[in-house]
Chain A
Amino acid sequence: MDAAPHTRTVAELGALLDAGECSSVELTRAFLDRIARHGAALNAFITVTPERALAEAAAADARRKAGERGALLGVPFVHKDIFCTAGVRTTCGSRMLESFVPPYDATVVERLKRAGMVMLAKANMDEFAMGSSNETSFFGPVRNPWDTTKVPGGSSGGSAAAVAARLAPMATGTDTGGSIRQPAALTNLTGLKPTYGAVSRHGMIAFASSLDQAGTLTRTAEDAALVFQAIAGFDPRDSTSVDRAVPDYRAALGAGVKGLRIGVPPEFFDPGLDKRVAQAVRDALDEFSRQGAMVVDVHLPNLAHSVPVYYVVAPAECSSNLARFDGVRFGHRCESPKDLTDLYMRSRGEGFGAEVKRRIMTGTYVLSAGYYDAYYLKAQKVRQLIADDFRRAFERVDVILGPTTPTPAFGLGEKTDDPVTMYLNDIYTIGVNLAGVPAMSLPMGFVDGLPVGMQLIGDYFAEDRLLAVAHAYQQATDWHRRAPEGFA
């Protein structure tokens, strides 16, 4: 048995299992021990599933014994609590779903099961994925393992804290406006937000259906490639799933960056960007230049509109999606309703937290008679301008590079008073979701002892290129290998 399996990547753990140096049950026990030791202090999990994990591990060991091989077979991981897991409660971070036990598995869950991965726990998250700090969860805030007085980012904050603290080698996440990339940046992880339609949304609790996309939080680009390989691909159960061949992402990792055209939009370097984060981006560009890439000027003139567009479009879609929580068929119901309207209003009033209510009301307002054209239709038109910016940029460059967030992790409670201040934290990530293109966040250094991330953006379905660029960077740097003190 390996002495410190928690320090290993998904790829390394798969190799250990292949070599017969340890069993999945042993690995799973080791990670469950770490979760028992550190999970509560970080509040990274909503539900831990040790019995189920050990049963899945034993099943994976049996599959290996029968001759089956697979990069993910028997490797433990964590699901964000937004993915429906048959028989395991799925809360989406909300009181509304505090005791909801899905009757079916999300497609992402089903595919990772098929690959033989072992689910350890369901990770904490912002309520219904609405938040950038993991402070809106009904189950309490998550703490950043790099500094427990700081937020881990959100909404996939529990997923990020779990992987950063080495409580799991990988966690799933979802990204509607930055919810994979921003926590990845704030916790020194590699986060992949795939192209819209690349990964099935079936069984992933909906927030904003034209923006939501599932992805991964890992320590390396190689691990992201391995897991993305397993979850990507057409699913007839999601009407927005794109039917398209899935390339071999691991095989594409070695492509290198020689001759690569990297676009660096000046719009990413606004006055809100911490100068030390900007310097870290320039240092990363120097590394890519050393490896033979070319830096090209490119513009995203409408990027500044992306946060206002998002805070019309996402709440509008959220107010429609969350109308299903009516206290009748599933979810929270208030005590002794006096009539049907009272049942709806109190069940929803009690079941949803303040930020979710705020977004439902924003959405209700912008969709209401007399305001629809001025807000919703207008935002959809500006959304098209933003998507056009990306389309034009990718006629000239292969990838776009910039910072993931304006600053390193901020303090718990620091931005909870003013929603707009919190929303602006996603200023560099939101445009990607509006356009539907894929993007990653990668560790690129530290500011005040806290990790900061670079964002790599690609054209539609160019995940293979993004992963190769990320992998090339990680072959030459060791930022992604650094672990937070106390969790090494």
Chain B
Amino acid sequence: MSLTPEQVRGIAHLARLRIEAEDEARYAATLSRILDFVAALDRVAVAGVAPMAHPLDALSNDGQRRRPDQATEPDVRAAAQANAPKVEAGLYLVPKVIE
């Protein structure tokens, strides 16, 4: 498997990651190397095997726990927004989305 710089740009866009043009070749090479490495899985027989998403089924009888849909946390908006790059009047500011 050999990814082209153009494919790397496509993946980076899906992931919303800006990659500098001079770095594209290096990412193409290392990502191709990783995909070649994980391609070893092609040779493993898995017919009839159920996919395992997490270990919880082996750990507890109820698998992943659910909770009642009730508010348990206090309102921490002000504290949370103290970390925001840009807020005004309790709102997060972003560049204009609709012209």
Contact = CB atoms under 8 A, between A and B. Distances in A.
Answer yes or no: do A and B interact: yes
Interface of A: 100-101, 103-104, 195-197, 209-210, 236, 239-244, 302, 305, 307-309, 311-312, 319, 326-333, 337-346, 348-350, 352, 354, 357-358, 360-366, 368, 375, 377-385, 387, 391, 418-420, 423, 435-436, 460-461
Nearest to B47: A381
A197 B55 contact: yes
Contacts of B66: 239
Most buried by B among A330, A365, A461: A365
B18 A435 contact: no
Contacts of B49: 381-382, 384-385
B41 A305 contact: yes
Contact of B94 (A340, A360, A375): A340
B50 A381 contact: yes
A383 B23 CA distance: 33
Interface string B29-73: 011011101111110101001111111101110001111000010
B80 interface: yes
A210 B54 CA distance: 5
Given A195-B59, A365-B11, A382-B41, 19 more contacts: A103-B80, A103-B82, A196-B55, A197-B55, A239-B64, A240-B54, A240-B65, A305-B40, A308-B39, A311-B34, A312-B38, A329-B83, A330-B84, A349-B17, A349-B18, A364-B14, A375-B38, A382-B49, A387-B55
Contacts, number: 189
Interface residues of B, number: 55
A239 B65 contact: yes
B46 A378 contact: yes
Nearest to A348: B17
A415 B72 CA distance: 46
Shortest beta-carbon contacts, A-B, top 5: A436-B55, A349-B18, A380-B51, A103-B79, A333-B85
A195 B59 CA distance: 9
B15 A360 contact: yes
B84 A197 contact: no
Given A305-B41, A308-B41, A365-B11, A377 B16 contact: no
A380 B97 contact: no
A348 B83 CA distance: 16
Given A328-B92, A346-B18, A358-B30, A379 B41 contact: yes
25 contacts: A103-B76, A103-B79, A104-B79, A195-B59, A196-B56, A312-B41, A329-B83, A329-B84, A339-B97, A349-B17, A357-B12, A360-B15, A362-B34, A363-B15, A365-B11, A365-B35, A377-B51, A378-B46, A379-B38, A381-B46, A383-B51, A384-B49, A385-B46, A418-B30, A436-B55
B11 to A, nearest CB: 5
A354 B27 CA distance: 9
A195 B60 CA distance: 12
B91 to A, nearest CB: 11
Contacts of B96: 339
A214 B71 CA distance: 27
A361 B12 contact: yes
A349 B19 contact: yes
B95 interface: yes
Contacts of B51: 377, 380-381, 383-384
Contacts of B34: 311, 358, 362, 419-420
Contacts of B86: 333
